Structure 1
């Protein structure tokens, strides 16, 4: 595994040292965007976070991510809003306002331009908490036993994270690199805690633009290093369920948690990323015995908001 940051696009023609510096800045910038997406992320603010002039920042950002800063933020907010349309019963106006649109009409126009259907059509076609992977041609055979869901409180968790861009099942090399980095700094291999944070819905976001973070829980005295960024996973009340089996079948547990348990729980999943906590290592464990906790942060159901 090389130290090159996996992004949809690359900057060409820069010396390695300059490239690494830019990648480090953009890794920190992406962590900042994730934590502050609800705020006014002006180009001036983001350029300052990236420690660049505004003019230079725009060119570097487009070169690395293949879209302008405004296009990037608009897409992230629309795709998060689409997840809200699918998963919750909140009114479309409330979702529109939270996404930064001043009216239902403006939100609908932007939504249709991006997804080629309106929010109402998405909600009518895919009712709340329904996942289109449950369509008959892709319907998995789900166990009939009740899902064993625990409600747990977890405080905000400091982590060192490495961003992965692309299909979620390809995040393995990022975890390997992060684990090697942590072990080099004296982490106990028996007690190290690895988490995955998965930000986007693969049914909404293009595969190459999916965002996920390989995370190791921060022991208290580590700092970021290049593309490995010090950050914090939000705390709160979580629905937690243990998945047993290969990572390729994790989606079945996601479907049962989000599509079956959640609608009857009195809760909704928050807009934050779903988390996975890995209880054993795939290099030493047969695929059928892999244990993965799926964590979904909860908020009270808001059907009338």
Structure 2
């Protein structure tokens, strides 16, 4: 993974840590993505790949760090520490503390050296991201033109979007006019800063079959260049395949993530195909960067 990617994520981590230490409100997606100079469509996934945890998990840990830091000051009550950490009650703070450490607030206060190490550990974000992992059998740069879909936007965690696809199919009166099953990830499939990733569940319809049912909307899927790979198997394993593609891009100097959502083309109807044989074409949007030699030749 390129060192500049880690540096950019560290800037977002610094912003997150500073805000959580000084204010109650965590930074927004736009603020975090801006600090890291990544598109908001890709920031959360890159953050998770580089740090090994989601933004929501990092914020929860930093919030707990703020509370445990308050515990080091004897004049602060456990309730004070809980509210400083953003918990609604001392009970919820105590539960989170117990899960993280196996100890109660009183026990930690009686062991100040352990409490000090805990504060340091909770406040530190590791840069984990590894290499690309096993190479996919078929990965290529592909381009497609913009096209229209009828879709429903959801905030369900992937793959818990199947019900949305089914409901949309029913609203359309069936899938007779469907030419492609399309998903668009506006965020990390594992969850964004608040744990609710935005995902569009849609169908590309035959010309003339573009009626938009209530609760759905017509959307344009942006075209352009993408790194395309085929995932075969369960949808539950699909996020791992997406991560491999991202790691590959983040390790290359000639490609960057473009400011567009990742597009999924579900080649097979899951109602008619065995789970192990389901094919999904993943399209991660990219821009190609010219090498110094190519720039000189121009």
Structure 1 residue 276: Cα displacement: 0.9
User: Do structure 1's residue 172 and structure 2's residue 159 form an aligned pair?
Assistant: no
Structure 1 residue 155: Cα displacement: 0.7
Contact 1:79 1:204 in 2 (8 A): no
**1:273 paired residue number:** 261
**1:75 paired residue number:** 28
Contact 1:80 1:200 in 2 (8 A): no
**1:108 paired residue number:** none
Task: Note closer, same or farther for the CA distance 1:85–1:180 as it changes in structure 2 (3 Å cut).
Answer: closer
CA deviations 1:193-239 (Å, max 9, x no partner) are 011111112354332x2110101114343243321101101110111
Structure 1 residue 296: Cα displacement: 0.7
- In the alignment, structure 2 segments of 5+ residues that lack a partner are 1-24, 44-57, 64-124, 292-298
Task: Note closer, same or farther for the CA distance 1:203–1:147 as it changes in structure 2 (3 Å cut).
Answer: farther
TM-score normalised by length of structure 1: 0.52
* Partner Cα separation in structure 1 for residue 137 and residue 259 of structure 2: 22
Task: Note closer, same or farther for the CA distance 1:79–1:294 as it changes in structure 2 (3 Å cut).
Answer: farther
User: Do structure 1's residue 292 and structure 2's residue 280 form an aligned pair?
Assistant: yes
Could you say what secondary structure the match of 2:38 adopts?
helix
Query: Residue 199 of structure 1: which of 171, 186, 192 is its match?
Result: 186
* Partner Cα separation in structure 2 for residue 269 and residue 200 of structure 1: 13
**1:250 paired residue number:** 238
**1:106 paired residue number:** none
Select the structure of larger CA radius of gyration.
Answer: 2
* Partner Cα separation in structure 1 for residue 290 and residue 135 of structure 2: 28
* Partner Cα separation in structure 1 for residue 211 and residue 173 of structure 2: 14
Output the aligned Cα RMSD: 3.9
User: Do structure 1's residue 152 and structure 2's residue 142 form an aligned pair?
Assistant: yes
- In the alignment, structure 1 segments of 5+ residues that lack a partner are 1-70, 89-111, 118-123, 135-139
Size of the aligned set, in residue pairs, is: 189
Contact 2:249 2:255 in 1 (8 A): no
**1:84 paired residue number:** 38
Contact 1:147 1:261 in 2 (8 A): no
